[in-house]
Structure 1
Amino acid sequence: MQAYRAALLSFHDDGSARYEPDGLLVVGPDAAGRKVIRAAGAHAALAGNYPGVHVTHLPGRILAPGFIDLHLHFPQTDVIGSPAEGLLPWLEDYTFPHESRFSDHAHAVAMADVFLDELLRNGVTTALTFCTSHPHSVDALLEESERRGLRMIAGKVLQDRHSPDGVRDETEQSLLDTEALIRRWQGRARLGYAITPRFAPSCTEAQLRGAGELAARYPDVWIQSHVAENRDEIRWVHQLFPHARSYLSVYEDFGLLRERAIYAHCIHIDDTDRALLRASGAAAAVSPTSNLFLGSGFFDYEAARRAGFRYGLASDVGGGTSFSPFHTMLAAYYVGREGQTKIGVSLAPQDLWWQHTAGAAQALGLEGVIGNLRPGCEADFVVLDPQATPLLARKTAHARNLDELLFSMIVLGDDRVVEQVAVDGVITSRRKAAAA
C-alpha cells in the first residue's frame, strides 16, 4: 500500500464537496488485485491505522479525483481552433478531411499517443470518445490506453450516408465491424466499447436499426451520439425522419436510449425530451466550449435540474477549444449565466467540479468506480498545485472558503495546475507546475 498526505477533495452523494485540509489518501490492492482507494479522510484520524505504510508528503497540494471527459473526438485533435461559419460547414471543411487520414493505420497509432498525452497533461483519467469509421482507429487508441492502464471507452463511428468518400462506411460491414470490436474490447483491462452512430443524419435507418439490435444484444456496452446541437441540423433531421416526434426520439425509435447512453449537447430539446432522458436513464454530455465556439446555443441547466436527468461535462475536442477541464468548467459557468432563461443560473464551483468528476461517473453508470476519492473507487487521482502561477497563488492565498478556492482554480487554472496524475494507482506524469 501507498499513502499520500495533502488536502483532499471528494464528493458526497448529493454532489456537494467534502474537503480535508490535512488529509490522508491510502491506495492499495483490493481482493481482485485492482489498485483502489483503501481509505481517505483526515490525517489525524487515519494515520495510526496504517503503520509501516510509506507516506508521500505533498504540502500545499490538493488531491482530487481524476477528471472524466464525457464526450470528445480522438481523431479531431488537430481540428482544434479551425474557423468555420457553424457546425455543418465545420464538419465538411475540417473534420471529415482530418478523419479520412485515419485510413492510414500508422497515422492512427501516432495520433493515439498525442491524444492520450494531452488528456493526461490536463488531468483527464477517463474519457468517452469517438474514433473514426475505420475499425483500426479504435484498436490504435485502445491498445495504447491499455498499455498506459487507462480507463477508456471508445467506438467506431457509424456513418453510411451523407458523408464523403474516405469516412463513409458500408451498412452491413459497419455493423459486423462494430460487433467484432465489442467482442475484442468491452471489459478488457479497464476498457469499454461505445456503439457510435455519428448523428442521425449520417446513418440510414438500416444502420440505426442494426445499432439498436447490437445495443440490445450487449447491454453492458455504452452508446454515444449527438443530438439537438444546431438548429440547421435539427431541421435536417426532421426532413430525414418526418415521423419522429423529435430529434431525440429518433434514437428512442431505434432502441438507442437506455442506461449508459450518452448524448452530446442536448441544447434545443423540450421538456418531453428531458423527461425521456430521465425515464430511459440516458445522459447528456454538456459541451460548453464547443457550443460557444460554433455558436450552437446554450445548455439549459435550470430545465435539466427540473427534469432530473443525468448530465456531466465534456470538452468536445475538436469543436471544443481545449482539453483543459478548467477551461470547460469556466465555459459552463458562462453558459449557465446566459442559459435559455431570462435570468440564468450561477453554477456553484462545487457543482462545476462535480460535473467533471463524480457527476460524469454517474452519467456513465460508473458511480462508485471512478470520479471520487472514496474507499473502493479506482485509484485515479490528480495532484493539483493551487499556486501554479503567480496570479493564481495570490488569488488562492486569499480564499476564505472552499468555493472561493475552487473557483479561483476554475477561472485562472490550466494544465499547469495539474502537477501529477495517478492512473490505476501509479503516478504516470510528473512535472513541475510552471511558475509563470
Structure 2
Amino acid sequence: MLKEKILNKTAVVGVIGLGYVGLPLAVEKAKAGFTVIGFDIQKKRVDMVNKGENYIGDVVTEDLQDLLKKGKIFATNDFDKLKDCDVATICVPTPLDKFKQPDLTYVVNTAKDIAKRLHREMLVVLESTTYPGTTEEVVLPILESTGLKCEEDFYLAFSPERVDPGNLVYKTKNTPKVVGGVGKKSTEVARMLYESVLEAPVFVVSSPKEAEMSKILENTFRIVNIALINEMAIVAEKMGIKIWEVIEAASTKPFGFMPFYPGPGVGGHCIPIDPFYLTYKAREYDYHTRLIELAGEINDYMPQYVVQRAMQLLNERKKCLNGAKVLMMGIAYKGDIDDVRESPALKVLEHLEKNKANVLVVDPYVEKFTFMGEERKTEKLTQELCKDADIVIITTAHKKRIDYKMVVENSQLIFDTKNILKTFGFFGENIVVL
C-alpha cells in the first residue's frame, strides 16, 4: 500500500526538524508532488514557513511561497498530525556535549513522538548524523515498544543528510543519496521514496549501520585532511615557507593529491562533530580512535594559533595585543552564508578578548550572534573602521558583500587567515597570509 502511495505521490510526508537539513528536504519533497507537513518545536520557524518567509539560504523563497499557495506544504508544532503521515523523516540536531559525547536527546524525543502516532504501513527515516547502530539500537526499540513490528507493520531506514550550505552546484535535489534499511522491505520503500524526489542516484547499502558509517567516514576524511594541512601551515611558517604556494604547486599533480586549505579552524554542523560520534562508539569495542582525536586537537588549536600570530605581527610593529584595536572580518563558519554554528571565528574572538584586545566584528551576512551567552551585534564595514584598526583579521572567506579593495587601501595591517585577498588579486606589504 505504501509503495503505491509513493509511486502515485499520494503519500503524506512528515519532516521533523525544519533547519538546514529539514526545510530544503521538505521543499524538495513537496516540489516532487507529495503533500508535506513540516514539524518543529520552535514556533517562530513554524510561523515563518506558513507565512512563506524563508530563513534557509539553500531554499528558494519563491518555491516555498508557491508550494504554500498550492497547499503542498505547511508547518506545525502539533505532533498529533504525525498520525496523518505515511512517512516521517527525522532531521533533528545531534550535538556533542561539553565532553564531546553524543547527545541523542532530540533523536530519542522525536522517536517517542513518532511512536505515539505510529501506524501500519508507515516509513520512518532517520537523517540526523549519528554513530553506527543508532537506528537499530536506539530508534527501533522505541518504535517497536508500541507492539508494531518493523518489516511486518512499519518500515525503518537511515539515509544520511549531505547538506553543504552555500554550495552553488550541489543542493538537496541533485546530491546522491545513501539508503540503508533495517530489512529488505524497509530499504526498498526508502529507496523508492528518495528516487521519486531526487534527480540523483540512490545508493543502497546492506543496513543502517553502513549508511551511518558512510556519513562518519565522509566527514572524518575531511577533518583529518584539514588537520594535516593546518599542521603543515604551522610548520611552513616556522620554516619561512609559503604554504599556499606549496598547495598550489602540489595541486598540479594529476593523481594522488587532493588540495585542502589551512584556516582558523573548522566549523559548521558536521566536520567538528560527526567524527567524534565514531570515537564514542569505538570505545564500546575497546578501540581508541587516535587519528580522529589528534585531528580534533590540531584543528581546535588553530584559533589560538591565529591569535598568537596576530600578537607576533603586532609585536613586530612595536604594538601590543593588550589594548589593540582589532577588526575581525567574518563570524560565520563559512563564506557567503549566515551560519555561525561551531564557527572557529568565535574561538578567535574569545582568545582575542582574553588577551584584552578591543575587538569589533564585521560580517555582512550576520547581523547579530550569541557569544559567551550574550547577544553581540556586528558592525557595518567602513573606511574609518579599517583606518582605526591596529590589525584586521580575516576569519571568514566571504566573496560577496565586502569591498576588499577599500579594506586593503585603508588598513595598516591585514592578517588573512583564508587567503581570500589573493583570490581578488590583492597583494601588498600590509597583507600577511596564514
**TM-score (norm: length of structure 2):** 0.27
Which is higher, the Rg of structure 1 or of structure 2? 2
- Per residue, is there more strand in 1 or in 2? 1
Which structure has more relative contact order (CA 8 Å, sep 6+)? It is 1
